[in-house]
Every structure is written in structure tokens, then in C-alpha cells.
Amino acid sequence: MALEIGGKTIATDEEGYLENLSDWTPEVANAMAQAEEQPVTLTDEHWEIINFLREYYEEYQIAPAVRVLTKAVGKRLGADKGNSKYLYSLFPYGPGKQACKYAGLPKPTGCV
């Protein structure tokens, strides 16, 4: 599979995650969101999460746990947003998986 962005081809795996994490740009995130069965237009709220995921990955080489994510979101954006309901409202396929994909992170694997 692949994404076409500005004439450039970007390789993704069977599930739409980036093959090479260094290929990520904000345009990639937008293209992935638009490529969903029901296209998603990324808002500032989405970007707050995506940016946090990228910062966390930069430091720890893995996506944050749901709990870590909700806690961080709560601290930064207010307690009313620090819960999985809010995250699922933005990323209905699951914040762990869908948001990670847009952020260019590898998919969390295992019994999750």
C-alpha cells in the first residue's frame, strides 16, 4: 500500500501505518485521515493529540499507554478532556491505534 502526497509516493504497510517513520509530515497525517472510509478532517483538537504522541514517541520510542495519554491530555488541555471518552470522540477507531497511525507511529502490538 502507499499514499500519494504531492506527487510523492509514501510506503505504508497492510494496515496503513508508515513503513518508514521518517516519511512523516503533517500532510501525511491529513492524507491518512482523508483516506479513511469516512474521511476525517483534522482539527486543532486532533492536532493537540497527534503532537503529544509525536513528542512522547521521540522520547520513549513507543506510543504512550492510554492512561498516560489521558493523564497528559488532562494536564495540558483541562480535566474535562483527560478521559478516554474525549479521545474516542476524536478517534473513534481507538486513540491508541488511529491516532498513532496519523502521528506516524508504529502500531501498538500484543494483547491490546
Partner 1 sequence: MADYEVPKLNGEGYIDIPKIKPDAMAGKGPFVAKPDFQKALNFPTDFAADPEGGYELVPDWKERALAKMDDLRHRYRSLQLYLDICVKCGACTDKCHYYLGTQDPKNMPVARQDLMRKVYRRYFTFAGKHFPKLVGAVDLTEAVIDDWYNYYHQCSQCRRCSVYCPYGIDTAEVSMAAREILDHIGRGSKYNNEIIGKVFKVGNNLGLPQPALADTLEGLEEDVEADTGIKVRFPLDEEGAEVLLVTPSADFFAEPHVDGLMGYAKVFHEAGISWTLSSYASEGANFGMFIGSYENMRRIALRIREAAIKLKVKRIVFGECGHAWRVAYSFLNTLAGPFDFLDPKYPVPQHILEVTWGLIQEGKLVIDKSQNDDKVLTFHDSCNVARGSRMGDKPGGQFEYPRNVIKAVCNHFVDMPADTIHDATYCCGGGGGLLTDDLMELRVKGAQPRMEALKYVTEQQGVTHMAAICAICKSQFTKVIPYYGFKMDQIVSVHQLVSKALVLQRPVSVQARPDEDDDDDEDDNDDA
Residues designated as active site: 111
Measured in whole angstroms, how far is the alpha carbon of residue 18 from the centre of its chain? 11
Pairwise CA distance, residues 33 & 60, whole Å? 25
Pick between residue 30 and residue 84 the one whose CB is nearest to partner 1. 84
Q: What do you get for the CA distance between the two ends of the chain, in Å?
A: 24
Pick between residue 15 and residue 44 the one whose CB is nearest to partner 1. 15
Binding of partner 1 at residue 60 (CB under 8 A)? yes
Pairwise CA distance, residues 69 & 50, whole Å? 11
The C-alpha cell that represents 30 in the structure block = 491529513
Binding of partner 1 at residue 83 (CB under 8 A)? no
Binding of partner 1 at residue 14 (CB under 8 A)? yes
Pick between residue 5 and residue 107 the one whose CB is nearest to partner 1. 107
Which of positions 17-56 make contact with partner 1 (CB under 8 A)? Answer: none
